[in-house]
Every structure is written in structure tokens, then in C-alpha cells.
Amino acid sequence: MISTRVLFSALAAAASFSTATAFTGRASWDSLGTTPCVPACPASDFRVALPSDLFPGGESCCHFVQATYQGTNVVVQFTDLFLAGAGSQNISLSDQAFAVLAPLEVGTIFPVDWIFVS
Ligand SMILES: *[C@@H]1O[C@H](CO)[C@@H](O)[C@H](O)[C@H]1NC(C)=O
């Protein structure tokens, strides 16, 4: 059985040179804005913070990500680094984006698939 650590390393490595890698994690909506991309992305209501350790140099900042939960998609801009998500594939959506996938009262949803789109 492949250890989670090995698998995670492979995914992290793939993320640095591929924009087609699919990830799966938990999505929340309350942790945006603590660590904006540098330089900052254009203002958008549909935003996502992605695990900071997957993009240590801010790679792919301001690119677009499609997140899918139970067959519903939302396209969001990668505008922030999610420090609390380091070591996972969990993401934090803006409240407007989360609300497309589930009621805000739910708080967190899993599994959410996410992938970069052009
Ligand atoms: C990521 O989400 C999973 C599933 O909900 C959870 O068990 C795990 O603790 C989360 N990891 C981080 C770093 O938040």
C-alpha cells in the first residue's frame, strides 16, 4: 500500500508542473483572506484559498479552479494561500462560492474535487 506521505509528495510534485492534476479535500468557507497571493489577484467574489504547501512560491496564483461537490461545479479564482490546509488538499472558498455548492450553515463539505481550468 502506498503511504499517504509518498502519495502526497507525488501530488505536490505534480502540482508544480501540471495544471491538470485533480485534488480531493474538504471545503470550508471561513478562512479566506489571511494570506493573499503576492502580487494580489484582481478582486473577485468567487475565490478559493489553496493549501499553502502545495504552492510554496505562489505558483498558479490567480489561476482558476473548478470545485465540484455532489455533481455541482463552481469556478473560483485562486487568490489566497490556505495555511491551515497545509498537509492536506482541503480548500477554503469565499462564502459566495461555497453557497453554490451547499448552504453556508453546513460549514464544511467533503469530498470536494478541485482542478485547475483555463
Ligand atoms: C482536511 O480534511 C479532512 C477531512 O475532513 C480532515 O480530516 C483533515 O483534518 C483536514 N486537514 C487539515 C490540514 O485541515
Read off the pLDDT of residues 9-27 as tens digits, 9 standing for 90 and up: 444 444 444 557 899 999 9
CB 31 within 8 A of CB 49: yes
**Virtual torsion, Cα 34, 37, 43, 46, nearest 10 deg:** -70
Neighbouring C-beta atoms of residue 115, cutoff 10 Å: 15
Mutate to test the pocket of ligand 1, among 88, 92, 109, 113 (most ligand atoms within 8 A of CB): 88
Full-model pTM:
0.82
CB 40 within 8 A of CB 32: no
CA of 85 to the centre of ligand 1 (A): 7
Confidence of residue 31 (pLDDT cuts 50, 70, 90): confident
> Whose Cα sits closest to atom 2 in ligand 1?
26
Q: Which tens digit of pLDDT belongs to each residue from 66-87?
A: 999 999 999 999 999 999 999 9
CA of 112 to the centre of ligand 1 (A): 12
With 50 as the cut, is the pLDDT of residue 117 above it? yes
Least confident of 27-36, 51-60, 64-73: 27-36
Stated length of the chain: 118
Arithmetic mean of pLDDT, 36-64: 94
Neighbouring C-beta atoms of residue 37, cutoff 10 Å: 20
Beta bridge pairs of residue 28: 92
